[in-house]
């Protein structure tokens, strides 16, 4: 579905929203009416496309593939997905699906935010959207850190459970997606920054927009460090949890082994005196007291020997 939104300075936002992939009729219209290339449309339509920056010199078209968070939270869907933005002349093409269509709101909010004439308004809108996307990532990382802290508090109180182990695994999965997306987005922004500040004038930005781009680069670089730190801490907490579980298992096996050794002593003594054979003092009335004394003495000796070997 293709919709056109009017932006300031006679610019246009062409909103291409798909359920999952680009429809054939939309692809045909974009090629025939808007003169977009089939190659760029393939990039924009690929839900597994890596974050990238491309320039078609023959058609003077810019393509930016940028990773954003999935708006629909479910276990069956990826937590991050790519959106594609194409700049051609005075038109900004936004390719989204039902998971990422909220990015359009960021661009429209940016259009309302910037007052007056801006020579490179389309790029300014994109950098504004980048900042909002970075804010979303930051909020998610904070939520993950809070969740991790709650799990860590339970672990410190020796309340590790199967549910917490699964929660830690889910946090690790989420951070893998987020860290990968942030690293890829960081590469795209650095590419734009390098090109914008090079002598080649393929991206002609004003000083004000270059400053916005620089701020976006700094913000996502900080976000990259934050996500790496969060991933590292989650991995350490997960390793600590595994070590605690292993230690608990070892303690349990140790206790069971001690009980087995101690409880085997009465069985051995009573087994001897239960045999149909002549044994010392077996015919005495107080022989059962003697067997109990021997049993207790052997149990004490076993416990003392385990304590001596630091096994108790």
Provide DSSP, 279-312.
-TTTTSTTHHHHHHHHHHHHHHHHHHHHHHTT--
What pLDDT shows up at residue 70? 86
**Of the ranges 19-33, 116-130, 200-214, the best mean pLDDT one:** 116-130
Predicted local confidence at residue 183, as pLDDT: 92
**Kind plus residue range of the DSSP H or E element containing 178:** helix 162-196
| Mean pLDDT in residue range 81-105 | 89
Q: What is the pLDDT of residue 182?
A: 92
For the chain, what are the domain ranges? 1-115, 249-308
Note the pLDDT of residue 68: 92
Specify whether the CB–CB gap between 122 and 92 falls below 8 A: yes
User: Is the per-residue pLDDT at 258 higher than 70?
Assistant: yes
Q: Which range has the worst mean pLDDT, 135-144, 185-194, 239-248?
A: 239-248
* Per-residue tokens: 15: 């909103």
**Helix (H, G, I), strand (E, B), or coil: what is residue 79?**
coil
Q: How far is CA 273 from the centre of its chain?
A: 66
Cα 161 to chain center, whole Å? Answer: 21
Both tokens of 66, joined, read 């940028």
- Binned at pLDDT 50, 70 and 90, residue 312 comes out as low
User: 16 and 32 in contact (C-beta within 8 Å)?
Assistant: no
What's the pLDDT band for 173 if we cut at 50, 70, 90?
Answer: confident
Give the pLDDT confidence score for residue 93 in this predicted structure.
93
Closest by CA position to 77, among listed 99, 48, 60: 99
pLDDT band at 159 (very low <50, low <70, confident <90, very high): low
Nearest CA to 84 out of 76, 72, 92, 74 is that of 92
The tokens describing 1, both together, are 């579905």
Distances (CA, A) of 160 to 66, 165, 244, 278: 38, 8, 8, 55
Q: Enter the tokens of residue 101.
A: 């269509």
Angle separating helix axes 121-156 and 162-196, nearest 10 degrees:
150
In 3-state terms, what secondary structure has residue 264?
helix
Give mean pLDDT, residues 115-122.
83
Question: What pLDDT, on a 0 to 100 scale, did the predictor assign at position 84?
Answer: 92
Pairwise CA distance, residues 102 & 23, whole Å = 20
Q: Are 69 and 141 in contact (CB under 8 A)?
A: no
User: Which CA distances in Å does 217 have to 68, 70, 141, 227, 298?
Assistant: 16, 22, 18, 15, 74
Q: Of 132-136, 204-208, 219-223, which gets the smallest average pLDDT? A: 204-208
The residue to which tokens 């207790």 are assigned: 296
Q: Please report the pLDDT score of residue 76 as a whole number.
A: 47
Mean pLDDT of the 43-58 span = 85
In DSSP notation, 190-233 reads HHHHHHHTSSSTTS---HHHHHHHHHHHHHHHHHHHHHHHHHHH
Q: Supply 107's token pair.
A: 């661009």
Task: Taking residues 89-95, report their average pLDDT.
Answer: 90
Measured distance CA(179)–CA(206) in Å, rounded: 31
Report pLDDT digits (tens) over 10-30.
Answer: 888 888 888 777 788 888 888
Report, as an integer, the average pLDDT of 159-172. Answer: 76
Half-sphere exposure of 311 (CA within 13 A, CB side): 14
CATH 1.10.1740.10 corresponds to the domain 1-115: no
Mean pLDDT of the chain: 83
Could you give the CA distance from residue 295 to residue 311 in angstroms, rounded to a whole number?
21
Spatial CB neighbours of 297, under 8 Å, sequence gap ≥ 6: none
Residue labelled with tokens 């990422």 = 100
Is pLDDT larger for residue 105 or for residue 235? 105
Share of the chain above pLDDT 70, in %: 90
How do strand 61-69 and strand 2-6 relate by DSSP bridges? Answer: unpaired
Mean pLDDT comparison of 55-59, 99-103, 167-171, highest-scoring range: 99-103
155 against 150, higher pLDDT: 150
pLDDT above 50 for 151: yes
Enter the pTM of the model. 0.76
């Amino acid at each position: 579905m293709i919709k056109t939104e009017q932006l300031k300075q006679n610019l246009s936002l062409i909103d291409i929203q798909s359920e999952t992939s680009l429809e054939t009729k939309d692809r045909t219209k974009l090629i025939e009416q808007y003169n977009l290339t089939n190659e760029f449309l393939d990039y924009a339509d690929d839900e597994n496309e890596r974050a990238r920056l491309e320039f078609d010199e023959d058609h003077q078209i810019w393509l930016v593939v940028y990773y954003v968070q999935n708006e629909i939270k479910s276990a069956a869907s990826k937590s991050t997905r790519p959106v594609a933005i194409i700049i051609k002349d005075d038109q900004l093409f936004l390719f989204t699906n039902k998971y990422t269509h909220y990015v359009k709101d960021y661009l429209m909010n940016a259009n309302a935010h910037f007052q007056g004439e801006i020579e490179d308004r389309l790029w300014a809108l994109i950098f504004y959207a980048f900042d909002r996307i970075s804010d979303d990532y930051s909020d998610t990382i904070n939520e993950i850190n809070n969740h991790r802290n709650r799990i860590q508090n339970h672990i410190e109180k020796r309340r590790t459970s199967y549910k917490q182990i699964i929660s830690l695994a889910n946090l690790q999965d989420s951070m893998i997606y987020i860290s990968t997306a942030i690293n890829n987005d960081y590469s795209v922004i650095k590419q734009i920054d390098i090109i914008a500040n090079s002598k080649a004038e393929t991206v002609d930005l004003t000083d004000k927009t270059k400053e916005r781009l620089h701020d976006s680069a700094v913000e996502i670089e900080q976000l990259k460090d934050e996500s790496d730190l969060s991933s590292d801490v989650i991995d350490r907490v997960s390793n600590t949890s595994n070590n605690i579980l292993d230690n608990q298992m070892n303690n349990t096996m140790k206790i069971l082994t001690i009980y087995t050794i101690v409880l085997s002593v009465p069985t051995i003594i009573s087994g001897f005196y239960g045999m149909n054979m002549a044994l010392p003092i077996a015919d005495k009335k107080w022989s059962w007291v003697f067997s109990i004394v021997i049993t207790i003495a052997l149990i004490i000796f076993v416990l003392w020997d385990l304590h001596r070997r630091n096994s108790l």
